[in-house]
C-alpha cells in the first residue's frame, strides 16, 4: 500500500481527497501547513505528496524544493485554484508530476496518482549511456555521446535518470545544436522501451500536403500517387519511442491528429477506416518557447499539455563553459580516429579563442570547428590560430565591442568602419521590427525576409535581448 501525504490549507479538501484515496487502497495522511508537512516527511517515507500551491506559511515552489532536498524519490503532484499558466509550467519544469486545477476531478486525480505511483525509484541508480549515440543534435552519422561535468549538465542528467524509466511524454527545450536528439536517445535507452525502435522525425521537413501520410501512413489509392499501402512513422515506432524534432513546425491540422493519437492511443491511416492501436512513447523537441507559440495561436494549448508531461531544458554551451575542454578533447579524439591520424595538440592561444567565443551554434558548432581545425595541423602536429574560422578569431577583437563586452550589450553600435556600419544598421532594423510586432519572432522573420532560425542566430550574435 502506497503512502500519500495531502497538504491543503482547507481541512475539508483534505478530508474529501483522503476519503477518495483510501477507497482506492492508499494509506493517507493529511496536514494544512507546509512546515508540519516537511516535519512529517522527515519521519515517514511518502511515495506521493499532493500539495496545494498556495500554502499559508510557505510558497508552493519553496515547499517543492525542500521536499526534493530530503526526499528526491517522492513523487510530487501540485494543485491550486486559478493558478497562472506559467506557474503550472514552471512547477512541471522543476520536476512536479502534474499540476491539477481545483476543484479536483476525482477520475483525473486517481489517474494522476496512479501514474505517479508507477514511476520507479531512481535515486542512486546509474544512468545507462549507450556506446553509440548522436552528439550535438546530429542525425547523419553515429557518434559516441559526451556528457559534461558542469552543475547544469549534471542537473540535466539527473532529470534524464528520473524521467527515463517512466512512460511520460517529454518535451526537450534548447537552442539549436545543444544535443536535443542525443538526450532523447538517452531517455529512450534508459526506458523500458530500450529494445524497441527509436524513430526520429524532423517536423520542419514534413510536407504540409502529405504530413498526415508521413506520420500515420496511408491506404492504397488514398490520393494520387498512393500506389500501395504504406506505414507511417507512428507504426514504425511501435513498441519504442517516436522523437518529434522541432515540434513547433508541425502544421495546425496535423496537431489535431497528433492530439487524438495521444488521447486515444490509436491512429487511422489516410484513406482508411480502421483504427490501429499504437504503443509508443512521444519525445518532442523545440528551440522555441511553445508558450509564445500558443499565444499567437500557432501551437495548440491542449496539445502542449498532452505532450508536456515532463519538460527538460538543455543549457546552451556558453552556460557550461567549464565543460569546454572536455568537449574539445572528445571531438578531437573522435575526429583523429576517423582520419586515422595521431591526436594533435591545441596551442594555448587557440584554447583562449575557443574559451572566449560565445558559441551560438552550441555543441554542433564546436564539433564542426574542431573537425575543421584538425585538417590544419602544422609540422609539429599542433593546431594554431590559423586553423580557426575568421569569425572565432575576430570575436574577441570585434570593432563594435558588443560581442565581447557585456556592458555594451543592448546598446546602439557606434563605430565608423564599414563592417560596424553594416552591423549597426542590421541591429537597428531588427530591434525596430521586433518592437513593431511586439517581439513575435515568427512575424519579425517574415518581415525581414529571413528564416526564423537565422533571426535567432542574429539575436544571439548581436546580443539583442528577447
Domain range annotation of the chain: 3-117, 151-315, 318-397, 409-461
- Tell me the per-residue pLDDT of 233-255, one tens digit each, with 9 for 90 and over: 998 898 999 999 989 888 888 88
Centre a 10 Å sphere on the Cβ of residue 271 and count the other Cβ atoms it contains: 16
CB 177 within 8 A of CB 363: yes
Span 3-26, mean pLDDT? 91
> In this model, does residue 271 exceed pLDDT 70?
yes
More confident residue, 79 or 204: 79
* pLDDT (0 to 100) of residue 412: 37
CB 197 within 8 A of CB 236: yes
The CATH number of the domain covering residues in 318-397: 1.10.8.60
Range scoring the smallest mean pLDDT among 76-80, 218-222, 423-427: 423-427
Distance of alpha carbon 17 from alpha carbon 28, whole angstroms: 9
**Which residues are CB-neighbours of 20 under 8 A, at least 6 positions away?**
106, 109, 110
402-461 pLDDT, tens digit per residue, is: 444 444 444 334 444 555 567 767 877 887 888 777 777 888 888 888 887 788 888 877
How far is it, in rounded angstroms, from Cα 175 to Cα 316?
6
Rounded CA gap, 66 and 58, in Å?
10
Give tens-digit pLDDT for 351-374.
999 998 888 888 888 998 999 899
pLDDT value of position 132: 32
According to the model, what pLDDT value does residue 421 have? 62
Q: Taking Cα atoms as reference points, which of 242, 244, 246 lies closest to residue 286?
A: 246
pLDDT at 399 over 50: no
pLDDT band at 119 (very low <50, low <70, confident <90, very high): low
* Alpha-carbon gap, residue 169 to 307, rounded angstroms: 5
Local structure of residue 282 (DSSP, 8 states): E
Write down the CATH number for the domain with range 151-315: 3.40.50.300
Lowest-confidence segment of 21-35, 59-73, 313-327 by average pLDDT: 59-73
Q: pLDDT tier at 187 (50, 70, 90 boundaries)?
A: very high
pLDDT-derived band at 308 (thresholds 50, 70, 90) equals confident
How many Å is the Cα radius of gyration of the chain? Answer: 25
Q: Contact, 171 vs 308, CB < 8 A?
A: yes
**Interval 283-296 mean pLDDT:** 86
Residue 2's CB is within 10 A of a number of other CB atoms, namely 17
What is the signed CA dihedral for 257, 258, 262, 265, rounded to 10 degrees?
60
Looking at residue 350, its pLDDT comes to 92
Residue 383 has pLDDT above 90, yes or no: yes
CA–CA distance, 419 with 371 (Å, rounded to integer): 28
Q: What is the pLDDT of residue 406?
A: 43
On whether the CB atoms of residues 298 and 252 are closer than 8 A, the answer is: yes
Q: Kindly report which listed range (45-54, 123-132, 261-270, 436-445) carries the lowest average pLDDT score.
A: 123-132
Mean pLDDT of the chain: 81
* CB contact set of 175 (below 8 Å; sequence gap of 6+): 287, 314, 316, 360, 362, 456, 460
Query: Could you tell me the pTM of the whole model?
Result: 0.59
Q: Judge whether residue 50 has pLDDT over 90.
A: yes
The yes-or-no verdict on residue 4 having pLDDT over 90 is: yes
Q: Lowest-confidence range among 136-145, 219-228, 311-320, 398-407?
A: 136-145
For the chain, give the percent of residues with pLDDT over 90. 19
Same fold, 3-117 and 409-461: no
Alpha-carbon gap, residue 379 to 376, rounded angstroms: 10
Q: Is 386 exposed, middle or buried (0-12, 13-18, 19+ CB in 10 A)?
A: exposed
What strands lie across the sheet with 27-31, from one edge to the other? 27-31, 3-7, 48-52, 75-80, 98-101
Looking at the predicted structure, is the pLDDT value of residue 29 above 90? yes
Per-residue pLDDT at 297: 83
CB 375 within 8 A of CB 367: no
pLDDT band at 133 (very low <50, low <70, confident <90, very high): very low
Give 379's DSSP letter.
T
- Contact 367/179 with Cβ under 8 angstroms? no
* CATH label, 409-461, candidates 3.40.1440, 1.10.10, 3.40.50, 1.25.40: 1.10.10
Phi, psi of 246 (to 5 degrees): 50, 55
Domain at 3-117: CATH code: 3.40.50.2300
C-alpha cell belonging to residue 348: 594555448
Query: Measured between alpha carbons, how far is 229 from 53 in angstroms, rounded to an integer?
Result: 51
Spatial CB neighbours of 157, under 8 Å, sequence gap ≥ 6: 127, 147
CA 31 from centroid of its chain's CA atoms: 35
Among 428, 455, 460, 457, CA closest to 440: 455
Look at residues 157, 328, 174, 319 and name the one whose alpha carbon lies nearest to residue 245: 174
Average pLDDT rounded to a whole number, residues 164-168: 89
Amino acid 118: pLDDT = 62
Q: Is the peptide bond before 246 cis (omega within 30 degrees of 0)?
A: no
Please say if the pLDDT value at position 5 is more than 90.
Answer: yes
Predicted pLDDT of residue 397: 52
Rounded to whole angstroms, how far apart are CA atoms 106 and 430?
Answer: 50
Amino acid at each position: 500500500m502506497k503512502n500519500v501525504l495531502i497538504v491543503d490549507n482547507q481541512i475539508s479538501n483534505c478530508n474529501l481527497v483522503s476519503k477518495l484515496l483510501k477507497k482506492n487502497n492508499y494509506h493517507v495522511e493529511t496536514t494544512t501547513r507546509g512546515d508540519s508537512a516537511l516535519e512529517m516527511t522527515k519521519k515517514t517515507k511518502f511515495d506521493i505528496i499532493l500539495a496545494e500551491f498556495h500554502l499559508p506559511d510557505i510558497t508552493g515552489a519553496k515547499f517543492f524544493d525542500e521536499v526534493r532536498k530530503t526526499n528526491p524519490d517522492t513523487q510530487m503532484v501540485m494543485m491550486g485554484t486559478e493558478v497562472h499558466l506559467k506557474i503550472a509550467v514552471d512547477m512541471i519544469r522543476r520536476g512536479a508530476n502534474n499540476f491539477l486545477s481545483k476543484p479536483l476531478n476525482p477520475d483525473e486525480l486517481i489517474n494522476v496518482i496512479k501514474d505517479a505511483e508507477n514511476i520507479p525509484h531512481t535515486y542512486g541508480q546509474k544512468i545507462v549511456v549507450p556506446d553509440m549515440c548522436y552528439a550535438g543534435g546530429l542525425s547523419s552519422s553515429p557518434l559516441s555521446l559526451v556528457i559534461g561535468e558542469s552543475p547544469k549538465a549534471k542537473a540535466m542528467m539527473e532529470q534524464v535518470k528520473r524521467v527515463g524509466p517512466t512512460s511520460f511524454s517529454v518535451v526537450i527545450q534548447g537552442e539549436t545544436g545543444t544535443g536535443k536528439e542525443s538526450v532523447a536517445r538517452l531517455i529512450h535507452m534508459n526506458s523500458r522501451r530500450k529494445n524497441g525502435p527509436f524513430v526520429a522525425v524532423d517536423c520542419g521537413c514534413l510536407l504540409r500536403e502529405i504530413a498526415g501520410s508521413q506520420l500515420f501512413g496511408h491506404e492504397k489509392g488514398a490520393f494520387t500517387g498512393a500506389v500501395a499501402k504504406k506505414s507511417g512513422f507512428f507504426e514504425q515506432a511501435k513498441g519504442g519511442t517516436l522523437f518529434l524534432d522541432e515540434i513547433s513546425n508541425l502544421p495546425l491540422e496535423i496537431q489535431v491528429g497528433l492530439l487524438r493519437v495521444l488521447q486515444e492511443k490509436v491512429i487511422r491511416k489516410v484513406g482508411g477506416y480502421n483504427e490501429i492501436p499504437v504503443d509508443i512513447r512521444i519525445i518532442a523537441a523545440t528551440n522555441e518557447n511553445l508558450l509564445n507559440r500558443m499565444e499567437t495561436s500557432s501551437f495548440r494549448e491542449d496539445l502542449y499539455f498532452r505532450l508536456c508531461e515532463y519538460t527538460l531544458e538543455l543549457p546552451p554551451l556558453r552556460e557550461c563553459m567549464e565543460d569546454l575542454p572536455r568537449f574539445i578533447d572528445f571531438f578531437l579524439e573522435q575526429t583523429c580516429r576517423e582520419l586515422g591520424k595521431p591526436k594533435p595538440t591545441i596551442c594555448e592561444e587557440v584554447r583562449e579563442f575557443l574559451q572566449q567565443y560565445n558559441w551560438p551554434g552550441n555543441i554542433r558548432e564546436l564539433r564542426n570547428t574542431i573537425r575543421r581545425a584538425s585538417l590544419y595541423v602544422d609540422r609539429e602536429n599542433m593546431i594554431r590560430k590559423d586553423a580557426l574560422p575568421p569569425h572565432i578569431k575576430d570575436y574577441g577583437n570585434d570593432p563594435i565591442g558588443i560581442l565581447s563586452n557585456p556592458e555594451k550589450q543592448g546598446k546602439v553600435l557606434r563605430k565608423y568602419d564599414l563592417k560596424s556600419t553594416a552591423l549597426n544598421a542590421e541591429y537597428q532594423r531588427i530591434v525596430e521590427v521586433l518592437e513593431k510586432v511586439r517581439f513575435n519572432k515568427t512575424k519579425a522573420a517574415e518581415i525581414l525576409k529571413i528564416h526564423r532560425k537565422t533571426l535567432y542566430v542574429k539575436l544571439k550574435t548581436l546580443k539583442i535581448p528577447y
